[in-house]
Amino acid sequence: MVGLVVVSHSERAAEGIVEVAAEMAGDTPIEAVGGDGQGGIGTVPDAIEAALEAADDGDGVVVVVDLGSAVMNADVAIELSEAEAVVADAPVLEGAVNAAVAATDPSATLDSVREQAEAARDIEKL
């Protein structure tokens, strides 16, 4: 299955978003990663790389991220990682939910899951 990694500056935010997405995710491997590694707010590439490895079962990983440096550190982690992974240009929570659902489709691919995560940009709430 295509895996999913949720990256936030806040570890608690990442874990909370994973909780929400996991309700719809079936067996999709989902990892939460966040924080500066010292209990503070931030992102570090090593932790994201570890999450990529944990979420990858060979079919690749879609990554959803929150703010600026999360994008950069996810990019660095992807360069370091053995896993095939892509960052989805999507809102982090809605993108995670969409990706989690898309990953349960038997014909899901890395591209189809990313596309569904990115479709979350167009979700209207009102």
- Residues with active-site annotation: 9
- The least CB distance from residue 50 to another protein, in Å, is 12
84 binds another protein per the rule CB under 8 A = no
81 binds another protein per the rule CB under 8 A = no
* Minimum CB distance to another protein smaller for 3 or for 35: 35
Phi first, then psi: what are they for 30, rounded to 5°? -125, 130
Q: Residues 48 to 67: which contact another protein by CB under 8 A?
A: 67
89 binds another protein per the rule CB under 8 A = no
- The least CB distance from residue 14 to another protein, in Å, is 14
Phi first, then psi: what are they for 59, rounded to 5°? -100, 5
Q: From residue 66, how far is each of 34, 74, 95, 107, 109 by CA, in Å?
A: 10, 10, 10, 28, 23
